[in-house]
A and B are shown apart, each in its own frame.
Chain A
Amino acid sequence: MAGVVIENLSTKKLMGIVVLLLLIQIACFLVGGLIAPSPTSAHTHLATKCIDPAISLQKAFVPHGPNACSKVSTFAEATEKNIEADWIVFSIMMPHRPNRMDRSFQYMLGVLSLDIVYKEDNEMGDEPELTILVEMMYNNDDNAQGEWKKMYSINETRKLNCEFFHQKSPEAEGYSYDCEPIPLFELGTVHHKYYLLNIRLPVWEVDPDTQEVVRELNTNLGAVQELSVVEIHQNGGFTLVWLTLKTALFPLVILAMIWFWKRIVQLARPPVLLERTILALAITISILNLPLEWLTFFHDMPYMLLLSDIRQGACYAMLFSFWIIFVGEHMMDQQERNRLRVYWRQVGSMTLGCMCLFVFDVVERGVQLTNPFYSLWNTETGRRLAMIFVVLAGICAFLYTIFLIFMVYGVFKNISMKRAALPHMVAARRLHYEGLIYRFRFFMIFTLICAVMTAIFFIFSQINEGNWKWGEDKHNIQYSSAFFTGVYGMWNVYVLAVLMLYAPSHKNKPTLQNGDTSEGSQVEFEMSTNVSSTAPSTSAALNPSGAASQAGTSEVYQLLGKVAND
């Protein structure tokens, strides 16, 4: 690769670019922290116990309002009135009155929790299984007056994980089991105003043809007292801020990308592998930036969740490939690379890992398009399959990290060897290597800062969440929103910087009469390092990523390797 912009840039211009990127970064962070609300919110819905003696699955049972169902407040009352278990319909209307759902909520999740008390004569059995018959309906009329339209009618079985912390004795009657909340549904779209859940816990499984009872269901649940569903959605304010951010970053990266590719095309030679990789990275991040989500305000797009997972995954895959290729192309041994095939092991392991997650995601989210109550984790085989995917992805990530560390180690070894040899080299050759070393170190430090910052922000937002208390003043900084917008902005800035600084330079190769070029570039390097390291305190960053924090740990090794070599 010929000289790139960063080698030939004057300190002044470099500073200008760094300051510009820094401003973008700070803006992203502040927008998340000060303007956006918290990314998601959860609302608890305690089910109303409606009575349906006819066991009719056609009717909608609404908890309140003018068309409210007839109901009981406790099951003791139901027993008194000789109401049977399969007459009970747990009815939940979302959201709580007087609110309505908004399309900006993007997605909606439901988590089911049961309140089961210990009763000596109605104890919970071993490995209780919960079979539920759920109907999901929606309504778009004002105040949910009109008819409820059916969305899904689904029969699901879930494992119940409960513990009882008291001694099982007559004295312990009336104490509750401690049950884990059960994931209920994931809707990739919030297109309607009101949603209604009618949940039944059937006691018989009836053969549809013969109308005979096949077996009993829900036999060892124990004494159920209450059923509640926690509904989680993305906050509308966060969606708006997020989409605005994407809309603003999209043209920026596109412009930088066009500029970068124009420079490449102007060269006499065909583009090298690294340049093509940078272009590919810019393209994937632009696809991620493309604010497709605006369309959800007009169209019902339940596949948006799957789509954004894929876009995000592709972006990670590209970023990881880019790192491998960049490091490989700066190996400074005499070996000819410049072909993707050379990196098949590294890129292959990473691709395999990403494919695992991709398949997992497509199965999970794909099936959820037709049955939002589905999850791979619900069944035994599904859980095993999911575990295989996740473990395989983990192994691949581990392999990738090892490869990357080895390569970075190799580069630093070569750098120190070349450094020792530099004074004895021919001037042109020396400049070539100095350029390579400078480029590489700048890139290393920049990447390291971004990865470490991502990890730090992630941990910080988690700790901050952990200390969260209810009833606190709501007007303080939203750390988790700032984390998301900040990290997203940071990786965009990263790609922008790579596009701008690693584009081929217009200037001719440094001339020989300029004897102190190497020194000059060294100074520049030192300065840019200083600037970069002040950036993180105010900056933040691509989407939340566990992978990025993994990368962060590998970067630490790289740093150690570097120090050792220096």
Chain B
Amino acid sequence: MTDAVLTSGPDAFEETLGRLSKKAGVRATIVLDRASGAILKTSGQLSSIRNTKAPGSSMPAVGSFSSEASGNSASEDQGAEELASMVWKFVGTAGSLVQELDTEDEVKLLRLRTKKQEFVIVPDTKYLLVVVHDTSSA
């Protein structure tokens, strides 16, 4: 609980995320607005996540993305947006699953392990944080 008074907001924010992205194996972090899906902050090589995505690997995306391999050369922003969109949809789907099981329940943490990496997603009421990191061995 870092005090917002003593550490100016953006600094602490940058510092916290910076430290997170400096951890071994962390490839990217994204902060999204929960309601709109607007990207608030990204770091790391987002394009690398898409690049490593060979056809057939388990991404949370729908099938339509595999046909989009040509889009990999797009800019970093584009990559971030796409990834954000996929993650956002994934969280939405997970959320609806939980809602249908129990309307008073909510998603607290999503860990999606694939052969190559892991997505750790913390959805909150207003924002959501995604960290993509390598899994050392699988």
| A and B part of one assembly | no
